Structure 1
């Protein structure tokens, strides 16, 4: 897997290559690029698809300890990733986390389109029971290690305070184990995770939402009807804020639509990019 040295640290990524429209897929907390494993093959034949693994707890290489790690750091890391690889006309796609909203506001120059998929927005932080559990774990000494061990227990994975809140269908055990292994085995990754979560500004996404009014480029908002973490009205609100926003709601799915309804999601992405090319 290729990697790139950025200001905040080393980021690994996958790149299908090719000459088609560039699509960059961003994941959420305690996931890595494998959350897109069913989407990439559907787009790859005629798109160049890149999937970086962000420092959200499932990354394998710790970030530089002397560089502050916060949502603002990740926004700049994403922008630097696009710059260093000289990616233009990018369709920036994000699920679960909300950093792409701020990227679109602060660094729109390389973006052609924006796709927001059931993500944090407005004042929804921490989102749902899992978000509150993460916040509490990060504030208690040893809490992150304990949380990772609990989530790693197979009988508990479907509980509504864990991965069960994110999907209607079980995520394969080998994928979940890959997501959790860095937090379970590497103290430096746990330190990164705490640094990130303890640096969240509660007003960040409210500010980003206001800024989205100026993102006058094609934008697609895809929301899960059965989402337990991201309020349904937030999808409608984001679509209304974006000057060229369009809302698609997907049934029989929770937050991770790429897990619950990958074929439908891939079809919506393909159609959106083709329509706005």
Structure 2
């Protein structure tokens, strides 16, 4: 994996596909307590089709290197970090793809820094006052210190609990136990990473997306939504409401997929991204 040192943090990332691709680059943004491997089964076929795919591990709880500046650990702050990542790598006309908390971060990014973004693909994600949705709003409220974060996530060491509705069980139909365990390992074993996530949880508790929603109509470039219909956290109606904020939007509903639609149906997500990435921007 490559890494890049930004003022806020050192970010590790994977790059798949040809660096000189004729297509716009694709940047994948994951959510809280997961890392870029959420997107592996989506990015791999896109890379084989000739798309340049960048998959950063963002400081959202499953990262391995503590951040330099915890003041950056807010949704808007992580959006700034992603913007700095784009600038540092001189990425332009980017196809931005977000899931879960990462989709909320993407909304902050296109509100503050739309100039390097050519188009957006949202999969099931936070929107409006669902940031985060029940029951994760209650769980995050209990994780606002490093100690409580370590204690609560340690309770999820057994697979039965980790894949229950208070863990990852609401988010996907099929979960890899080794992958979900590795996502929680940093906050369970590293007090600095636990402190990073606690700072993020506190900031999320002070934030929602209703403030920026009325401004999102200013993003006139293509927006596509790929939405799992079995999601009890981010319902199809929420996806349709989010799509309605943008002048150029369309929704593809994916049956039998939940929040982690990149895991439940990576083919549907990859197809939608490939179609979106070829759209010309105004």
TM-score tier by shorter-chain length is: over 0.9
Residue 26 (str. 1) matches residue 43 (str. 2): no
Residues 125 and 202 in structure 1, CA contact (< 8 A), matched pair in contact too: no
Deviation at 1:68, TM superposition (A): 4.2
TM-score when scaled to structure 1?
0.94
Cα displacement string for residues 5-40 of structure 1 (whole angstroms, at most 9, x for unaligned residues): 111111111112421320000000000011011011
Match of 1:80 among 77, 84, 87: 84
Summarize the Cα distance change of 1:130–1:48 in structure 2 as closer, same or farther, 3 Å threshold.
Answer: same
Deviation at 1:67, TM superposition (A): 4.1
Deviation at 1:157, TM superposition (A): 2.4
Distance in 1 between residues matched to 2:31 and 2:70, nearest whole Å: 24
Residue 127 (str. 1) matches residue 127 (str. 2): no
SS in 1 for 2:127: coil
Cα displacement string for residues 160-210 of structure 1 (whole angstroms, at most 9, x for unaligned residues): 1110011112x2122112211101110000000001110126554112211
Distance in 2 between residues matched to 1:247 and 1:65, nearest whole Å: 37
Q: CA RMSD in A?
A: 1.6
> 1:106 — aligned with what?
112
Map 1:181-260 to 2 at 5 A.
181-200=185-204, 202=206, 204-260=208-264
More deviation, 103-112/57-66? 57-66
Summarize the Cα distance change of 1:201–1:210 in structure 2 as closer, same or farther, 3 Å threshold.
Answer: farther
Residues 126 and 135 in structure 1, CA contact (< 8 A), matched pair in contact too: no
Summarize the Cα distance change of 1:204–1:137 in structure 2 as closer, same or farther, 3 Å threshold.
Answer: closer
Distance in 1 between residues matched to 2:144 and 2:206, nearest whole Å: 16
Distance in 2 between residues matched to 1:230 and 1:84, nearest whole Å: 33
SS in 2 for 1:166: coil
Q: How many residues align?
A: 275
Deviation at 1:136, TM superposition (A): 1.7
More deviation, 43-52/230-239? 230-239
SS in 1 for 2:53: strand
